[in-house]
Structure 1
Amino acid sequence: MLTSDNIYLRPFAEADAEELIQFQLENRDFFEKFAMVRDENFYTLDFQKQSILDAQKSAEEDKDYKYGIFLNDNNHLIGIIDLFGVLRGSLQYCFIGYFLDKKYNGKGYTTEAVKLMVEYAFEKLHLHRIEAGVMPHNIGSIRVLEKAGFHKEGIAIKNVKINGKWKDHQVLAIINPND
């Protein structure tokens, strides 16, 4: 478990599936503005349970690390943060992504979560670089990353298909200061 003043992060357990599906359903319209449209199967308890099991296996295989963002005061799930696409060898690299419940945006929780995951990635996983891609109009997400120490590197033209359309992304990255 990774903790800060207001939140903690931990890998999902199968017992979290009910809360996870509720989180996804309550934020469906909000999240689909920034991510792919998901089919109805995604919004089932069975799918969420399987995604938790898949995430556990991916972490064991050192490929992806998917954590829930929970409030310290009531253990309520307010978000998801993920280190994914881990590449080892001469790269020591991954991507970071996150989703925060729309009701909790603007309170600093995502910045706290990103800082915790960056620390984990550099100190425990010994990664050298973490990259993020954000649609240029998503100013809030860009600010989160900059507050967490990421720097802008450029625009990746039409690199992610979102809701059936190829979208540009601002590329931001952070380098392990110990390397």
Structure 2
Amino acid sequence: MTTIKTANLILRNWQEADAPALYRICRDEALRKSGVTYIESIQSAGEAIRSRAKDTRFKAVIHRESGELIGFISLGDMNRYKGYAELEYAIAADYRNRGYATEAVKCMVDYGFSKLGLAVIAAWVRSHNAESLRVLEKCAFVFEGRLRKHARDQSDTLCYSILCEEWEDKQKEPQ
């Protein structure tokens, strides 16, 4: 199991006990409007967890101080080609706008490039999700384009990505 610690977070593999918190997080209307899959019950949350429990690309986001599950993050293999992954993340409403999404994304990008050997990490965001767009921009993702009326709710989808060589250049910059 790969566990990653940051200043405020722990990114770890899923555990069965996470099901009730995952269910609560996924019931959030704002997340659902942003494309997060609706989980219908604690039981279906448990099924989702069991299907991803050993996949090191799917992480539960834990608040270090409280020990509470506050979100999730993943680098999904979308069958494009070896080295390409798509980033997905969500933070519970009570923990938003505190920098946790940015911290988790930076950590997962580092993990993807340094440990998984990825070449590209892409993220698709609905155009009305201003908070998520800010997170990606803070994490050095580059805007690639707009897919008009692409999402199921007919909103536009914006595509962002970061290349491994861009990430490597950022690592060389003074902190």
TM-score range for the pair, normalised by the shorter chain length? 0.7 to 0.9
| 2:156 pairs with one of 153, 168, 174 | 168
| 1:132 alignment partner, SS class | strand
TM-score, structure 1 length as denominator? 0.83
Identity %: 32
| 1:78 pairs with one of 62, 70, 86 | 70
| 2:155 alignment partner, SS class | strand
Q: C-alpha offsets along residues 86-141 of structure 1, whole Å, 9 cap, x if unaligned?
A: 4475x510110111111111110000000111011111110100101112222211
User: Which structure 1 segments of 5+ residues have no match?
Assistant: none
User: Are residues 13 and 115 of structure 1, via their aligned partners in 2, closer, same or farther at CA, if it must alter by over 3 Å?
Assistant: same
Higher RCO, 1 vs 2 (CA within 8 Å, ≥6 residues apart) = 1
Query: Which residue pairs with 2:122 in the alignment?
Result: 131
Query: Which residue pairs with 2:59 in the alignment?
Result: 67
> Does the CA-based 8 Å contact 2:9-2:100 persist in structure 1?
yes
| 1:96 alignment partner, SS class | strand
Query: Which residue pairs with 1:5 in the alignment?
Result: 7
2:91 and 2:112 map into 1 onto residues whose CA distance is 20
Paired residue type of 1:5: A
User: Which structure 2 segments of 5+ residues have no match?
Assistant: 170-175
Q: Pairwise CA RMSD of aligned residues?
A: 2.1
TM-score, structure 2 length as denominator? 0.84
> Aligned runs of 1:104-123 on 2, under 5 Å?
104-123=95-114
Paired residue type of 1:23: I
